[in-house]
Structure formats: C-alpha cells, structure tokens
C-alpha cells in the first residue's frame, strides 16, 4: 500500500490510524476507506473481544486491517490518530490511554465531515430510509458510469464479497455518503447535493432535528426534500435553499403507485419504475434517489434500469426463507416510524403478522416509550400477534428502569392480549406451533446481528 491520499484533510500528517469501536457500520466503512487510501489502519471493538459478528471482523482482517483487544494496549502500535465512535465512553481504556499519551482523538462524525466536505458528492440524511436511499443513489451513479465512492450505514448486497462488508465501495472522487442525524453532526456537512429523506421522532424530537437539518440543507448547492413529510415541508417553505421536492405532494408529476407483494411500482414524469423491494416507504426512498440522481444530471432511463435491479441491504426487509408457506423477514426497524413502515409492508404482502421486536437500549426505549405503545396498538390487526424480547443492553451507564414486560403491559392496556414477552427459545417454539401458510414472521430490532441468526432459527424450526 502506498502513501495516504490527500482526500482526508483532517488526517494531514497522519499515517497510522486506530479505530475504537471499529465494528460499527459507520466506523467499519471509514476504516475500509482509509485502508484503501493507503493509511495503516488498526481497530478494536467490544464485539470482537466477545466473539460476536466474527464474519465482519474476518473481512476487515482480510483487507489488512489489524484488530486488537480493546484494553488500552493500542498505544504500543503508536497510532498518529485515534477515531472513536459516539457509542464509546470517554473513560474507555483506549481513549484514556490516548489522552494520557497525547495521541490525537477525533470522533467519527468529524472524520466523515472532512471527507464529504472536501470532495464532490451527495450526502443523504433523515430519520428513516437513508441507508436504502444512499444505496439507491450509489447504484444509479454506478449505472451512469460515475464510479462513486460509497459510504453507507448498512451492508449493501451489491458491495459485499469475501473481503468487503458491503458498507463501503471504493471509487472515484465522487462521494455518495450516508450522514447520521443521531448525534446532531449533520449540521456540519456541506455537500454539493444534500438529501433529506424525512423527519420523525427517533434520537431527538422533530423540532430539534429541524434545527440540525437547516444548516445541512442551506450549505448545499442543491437540496432534495420529501414533500410528503410535513416536517420537511416546513423546511421547503423556509425557501432559503435551492430545493427539489419529491413525493405525492411534490411538483414533479408523480402517478399512482402499487405495492404488489414483494415488489412495488410507480410512475414519475411519464416514466414507469419497477422496484424489486416492497412497501410504500421504498417508493419514497426511490423517489428521493431519483431526485438526487437528476441533480447529478442522470437520465430517467438510467434511473429506471438501475432501480429495477436494486439488490437491497442486509437487515432491510430481508426474506430469510419461506417455510410451510410462512415468510420469515429480518428487518432493522427500531424506531416507531420504521416499525410502522415494516408492519404496513407485511400487511401489504401477506396476511397475518407475527411481529417480533427487540427494543434497542434503555435510554432510547424510555424516550420513545409512548410512540412504541401507540404504533403496535394501532398498526397490528386483531389477527396479529406481538412478541417482545428483552431490551438489548448496549452497555454504558444507562438507567435500566424500563423493561419489555412493562411495555407489553402498556400495549395490552390498549389492545388486550396483543403483546407478550418471551425469551428466544420460547419464541421459536411458539411460532413453530402458531404460524400457518400465508403468515409473516417479522423480526425487528437494531444493531444486534444475532437477530438475523434468530430469524434463521425460526425458519429452520418451521421446516420441521
């Protein structure tokens, strides 16, 4: 590997870069990019120490990235700079050792901002759908011959192989990147094209998110906004940026749409589009991607061809298997808005829904409590069922005074007997007995890769 490139100004005069929390989707994407650009990259992660998600770490190592235990011994590797994820506490042994030794520490959003702001490209943000939209924009740009460098917050099947995870694609100076709103850093990005998929309560209240998104949109040459999201329409009405508005409420001629089982169809400006992914939310994602592609000068015909072959992403409505006529779906849905989209898609596609949900983190669960209760009580029918797994403990110093049992009680207070709490063994046993031909088992939850294993275990139990 040669000398590092000059595409990352924040790392000027740095060669050895260590990532604390390298297993995160955003961190591993950046680590792969820097490794490909000629930096000497190493990393650590609690998941690696605990033997979780071994396939991900194996792929990083195949690329030449060195992994070590997260115990503070990284100082022996003499990194010039350390990158930390927001999920890592300041008293983490690696961070503490770096501070003591005077090693420069930067946060993941600072690194990503430096890359996006120093190159030509498109940045995609929003509360829901940004990973899928990023992958769609990237695939369209590929089909247009633009050879984009892609950074996405989930593994796109198109970019997966024996070496690459799927959340990074090496390419030219055109950057197509997902930028996260969860830490407020989105306000620092200044892309050529800023894309906002939608705004809903997740990490923050919508009013606070609007304040983050204003400078993101205003700092871009062109903004792409969702006219069907009432919070986004507020930003359109501000009119302080050059904007393209998409959706049924947008100025483009958007014709009727259909969600046909595992596919979706729609027409835009007289051009018909067929998506190999289901759901009205994916039509919205596609409209967003088309608007961004048009801003790059890409024709509708290229958009049609690229989206008709869109390959999807890991844990974004993945049909794990169909057994005994039962479809088992693995999905990343974890916020109330994402859960609503997943439940609606399941009901479009098939009949009875057996929803399985693992809340992620105690703080987020407490913040979204009322919204969780409402979305399940309102969007599951009388024939459906809901199984709640224990809250996924993301570590740290969280207040652990809420539980899935309390959530089930709150939901059942509105819709009696709808929800129950189960461990994984009982869940598999119960579904084996109650799921019938024409049903959907929908496994939902964030950032826990073992949920994919659970979905496979459910499918395998139905086989027998």
> What's the domain count of the chain?
3
CB 388 within 8 A of CB 418: no
Helix 336-349 and helix 280-295: axis angle, to 10°? 110
pLDDT at 449: 84
CA 283 remoteness from chain centre: 17
CB 159 within 8 A of CB 26: no
The phi and psi torsions of 48 (rounded to 5 degrees) equal -65, -45
Cβ count near 22 (within 10 Å): 27
CATH number at residue 66: 3.40.50.720
Do 31 and 136 lie in one domain? The reply is no
Domain that holds residue 416: 318-463
The answer to the question of residue 4 being in a domain is no
List of residues 6+ apart from 367 with CB closer than 8 A: none
**Angstrom distance (rounded) from CA 208 to CA 182:** 11
In terms of Cβ atoms closer than 10 Å to its own Cβ (0-12, 13-18, 19+), residue 301 is exposed
Write out pLDDT tens, residues 172-193. 889 999 998 877 789 899 999 9
Tell me the pairing of strands 385-388 and 419-421. parallel
Nearest to 14 by CA among 100, 110, 87: 110
Write out pLDDT tens, residues 96-148. 888 888 889 999 999 999 999 999 999 999 999 999 999 999 999 999 999 99
Task: Quickly list DSSP for 353-395.
Answer: EEEEEE-B-HHHHHHTHHHHHHHHHHHS-TT-EEEEPPPB---
Residues in the chain: 464
The answer to the question of residue 230 being in a domain is yes
The answer to the question of residue 5 being in a domain is no
Residue 204's pLDDT band (cuts 50, 70, 90): confident
Do 42 and 148 lie in one domain? The reply is no
CB 406 within 8 A of CB 373: no
Do 87 and 145 lie in one domain? The reply is no
Do 145 and 215 lie in one domain? The reply is yes
CATH number at residue 173: 3.40.1190.10
Write out pLDDT tens, residues 18-34. 999 999 999 999 999 99
196 or 206: which leads in pLDDT = 196
The mean pLDDT value for 229-245 works out to 74
């Amino acid at each position: 590997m040669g000398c590092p490139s000059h595409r990352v100004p924040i790392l000027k005069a740095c060669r050895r870069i260590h990532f604390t929390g390298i297993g995160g989707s955003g961190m591993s994407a950046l680590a792969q990019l820097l490794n490909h650009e000629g930096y000497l990259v190493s990393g650590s992660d609690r998941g690696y120490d605990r033997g979780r998600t071994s396939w991900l770490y194996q792929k990083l190592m195949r690329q030449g990235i060195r992994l070590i235990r997260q115990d503070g011994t990284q100082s022996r590797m003499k990194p010039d700079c350390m990158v930390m994820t927001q999920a890592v506490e300041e008293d983490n042994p690696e961070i503490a050792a770096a501070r003591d030794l005077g090693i420069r520490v930067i946060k993941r959003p600072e690194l990503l901002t430096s890359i996006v702001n120093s190159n030509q490209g498109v940045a995609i943000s929003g509360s829901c759908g940004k990973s899928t939209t990023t992958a769609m924009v990237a695939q369209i740009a590929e089909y247009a011959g633009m050879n984009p460098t892609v950074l996405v917050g989930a593994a796109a099947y198109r970019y997966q192989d024996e070496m690459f995870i799927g959340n990074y694609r090496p390419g030219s100076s055109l950057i197509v990147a997902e930028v996260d709103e969860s830490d407020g850093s989105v306000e620092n990005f200044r892309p050529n094209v800023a894309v906002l998929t939608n705004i809903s309560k997740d990490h923050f209240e919508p009013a606070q998110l609007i304040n983050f998104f204003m400078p993101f949109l205003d700092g871009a040459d062109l903004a792409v906004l969702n006219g069907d999201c009432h919070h986004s329409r507020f930003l359109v009405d501000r009119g302080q940026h050059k904007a393209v508005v998409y959706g049924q409420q947008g100025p483009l001629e958007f014709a009727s749409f259909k969600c046909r089982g595992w596919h979706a169809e729609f027409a835009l400006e007289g051009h018909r589009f067929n998506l190999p992914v289901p759901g009205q939310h994916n039509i919205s994602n596609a409209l967003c991607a088309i608007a961004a592609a048009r801003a790059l000068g890409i024709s509708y015909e290229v958009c049609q061809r690229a989206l008709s072959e869109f390959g999807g992403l890991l844990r974004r409505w993945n049909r794990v298997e169909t057994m005994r006529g039962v479809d088992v779906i693995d999905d990343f849905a974890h916020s109330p808005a994402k859960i609503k989209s997943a439940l609606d898609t399941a009901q479009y596609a098939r009949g009875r829904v057996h929803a399985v949900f693992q809340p992620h983190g105690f703080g987020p669960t407490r913040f979204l409590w009322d919204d969780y209760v409402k979305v399940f009580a309102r969007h599951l029918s009388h024939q459906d069922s809901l199984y709640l797994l224990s809250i996924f403990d993301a570590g740290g110093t969280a207040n652990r005074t809420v539980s899935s049992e309390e959530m089930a009680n709150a939901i059942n207070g509105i819709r009696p007997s709808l929800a129950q709490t189960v461990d994984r063994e009982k869940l598999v046993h119960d579904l084996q007995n109650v799921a019938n031909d024409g049903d959907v088992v929908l496994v939902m939850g964030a950032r826990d890769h073992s949920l994919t294993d659970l979905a496979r275990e459910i499918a395998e139990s139905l086989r027998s």
